[in-house]
């Protein structure tokens, strides 16, 4: 039997059909209903009016519920709901590796210029010394400094000073206690800017990268393989292109070394279409847990001593140098009016160290890592296959 909504649809269509063709047309429409075409439309309509499940988030969304429900097809809505779910899923995955009593502190904040964010911080855990998983959804006007930074990347916004913008993103940095567990960073974001001619420009950016303190080739291969799988669902050229971009971006220039063993990185992505670009970003964001959590499980109980801890603190110092001197996201955040500095600087570790003219001993495990940081590897052997 047909659903009540489907029968109403049939009756409505019958009124529009000339009487001489009633039988043929009704058979055609009935076939559409039986095939599920009408039922699918009804389901889609009900999905749009379905309530948002707060249990999927760490806190209430930044944008009002009514606005999200009434604009479900808007990319701003899609991105906000995506980053909130990614935040919740990753926080819960990290908590599952921790002592049962160690949980994230959740801080929902707003900014008077427009929008706000949700900062989730875990500190002094048994497994994670510091873990931050943040989302922000902000609106307002870009000051000239931020506009100039974007123009330096080739963005053209016409003449004029500040520009209306929307930005939504999720960002996370995990600093483990055990030096055998690597640090991970990921960030996925969406921008809209209205240029001086009133035209809306949009783009996505982001990436995921790994920073080990001791090299484990099996871990690096697993990490890169997971990212490649996410990329290949959308474009077979993405992984190689964005892997190189990552190697070239996360460079501590004054040290002549990379921050870690890479991953993927991209920015200003506005093709092949807005929806397809969003789906790619979604796949990358969902690949974070399978790329990283297995490494935490594998190494969180590994043995280490004073010397390994000291090396970890020195490498964290390098991490701080990159984030404060070169990182594009940190600079953008600090340029943005009403910036929340506590959230922007959540990427910094609780403890780090600098020693004058330190150099690891030749042939040591530390020197092995340094060789990779100075000479990025093709972890999946893709270049050899070409």
Q: Catalytic residue numbers?
A: 185
C-alpha angle 240-331-316 in degrees, rounded to nearest 5: 70
* CA gap 124, 271 in Å, rounded: 42
Instruction: Find the angle CA(193)-CA(195)-CA(197) to the nearest 5 degrees.
Output: 150
53, 81, 135, 285 from 105: Cα distances, Å: 21, 20, 14, 22
Q: How far apart are CA 73 and CA 48, in angstroms?
A: 9
- What is the crossing angle of helices 217-232 and 288-299, to 10°? 160
Determine the angle formed by the axes of helices 328-335 and 144-151, rounding to 10 degrees: 150
Residues pairing with 305 in the sheet: none
Distance CA 50, CA 25 (A): 33
In whole angstroms, how far apart are CA 71 and each of 44, 64, 81, 274, 333?
A: 14, 11, 12, 16, 27
Residue 35 burial by Cβ neighbours in a 10 Å radius (0-12, 13-18, 19+): exposed
Residue 5 and residue 9: Cα distance in Å, rounded? 6
Within 10 angstroms of residue 36's Cβ, the number of other Cβ atoms is: 11
Buried b (16+ CB within 10 A) or exposed e, 117-128: bbbbbbeebebb
Strands 262-269 and 200-211: what pairing? antiparallel
In contact, 205 and 268? CB cutoff 8 Å: yes
């Amino acid at each position: 039997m047909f659903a009540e909504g489907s029968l109403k649809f049939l009756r409505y269509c019958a009124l529009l059909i000339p009487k001489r063709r009633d039988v043929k047309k009704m058979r055609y429409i009935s076939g559409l209903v039986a095939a599920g075409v009408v039922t699918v439309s009804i389901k889609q309509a009900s999905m749009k009016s379905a309530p948002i499940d707060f249990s999927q988030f760490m806190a209430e969304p930044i944008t009002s519920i009514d606005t999200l429900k009434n604009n479900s097809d808007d990319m701003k809505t899609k991105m906000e709901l995506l980053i909130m779910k990614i935040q919740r899923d990753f926080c819960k995955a990290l908590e599952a590796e921790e002592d049962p009593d160690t949980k994230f502190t959740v801080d929902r904040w707003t900014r008077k210029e427009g929008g706000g964010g949700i900062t989730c911080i875990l500190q002094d855990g048994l497994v994670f010394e510091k873990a931050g998983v943040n989302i922000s959804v902000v609106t307002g006007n870009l000051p000239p400094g931020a506009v100039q930074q974007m123009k330096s990347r080739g963005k053209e916004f016409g003449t004029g000073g500040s520009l209306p913008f929307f930005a939504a993103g999720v960002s996370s940095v995990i600093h483990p206690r055990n030096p055998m567990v690597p640090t991970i960073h990921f960030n996925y974001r969406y921008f809209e800017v209205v240029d001086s001619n009133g035209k809306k420009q949009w783009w996505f950016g982001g990436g995921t990268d790994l920073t080990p303190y001791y090299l484990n080739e099996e871990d690096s291969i697993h990490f890169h393989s997971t990212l490649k799988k996410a990329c290949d669902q959308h474009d077979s050229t993405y992984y190689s292109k964005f892997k190189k971009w990552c190697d070239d971006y996360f460079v501590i220039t004054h040290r002549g070394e990379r921050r870690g063993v890479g991953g993927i990185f991209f920015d200003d992505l506005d093709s092949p279409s807005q929806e397809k670009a969003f789906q790619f970003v979604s796949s990358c964001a969902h690949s974070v847990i399978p790329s990283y959590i297995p490494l935490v499980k594998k190494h969180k109980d590994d043995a280490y001593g004073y010397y390994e801890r000291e090396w970890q603190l020195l490498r964290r110092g390098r991490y701080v140098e990159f984030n404060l001197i070169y990182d594009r996201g940190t600079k953008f955040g600090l340029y943005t009016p009403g910036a929340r500095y506590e959230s922007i600087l959540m990427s910094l570790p609780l403890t780090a160290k600098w020693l004058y003219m330190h150099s690891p001993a030749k042939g040591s495990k530390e020197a092995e890592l340094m060789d990779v940081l100075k000479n990025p590897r093709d972890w999946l052997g893709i270049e050899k296959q070409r």
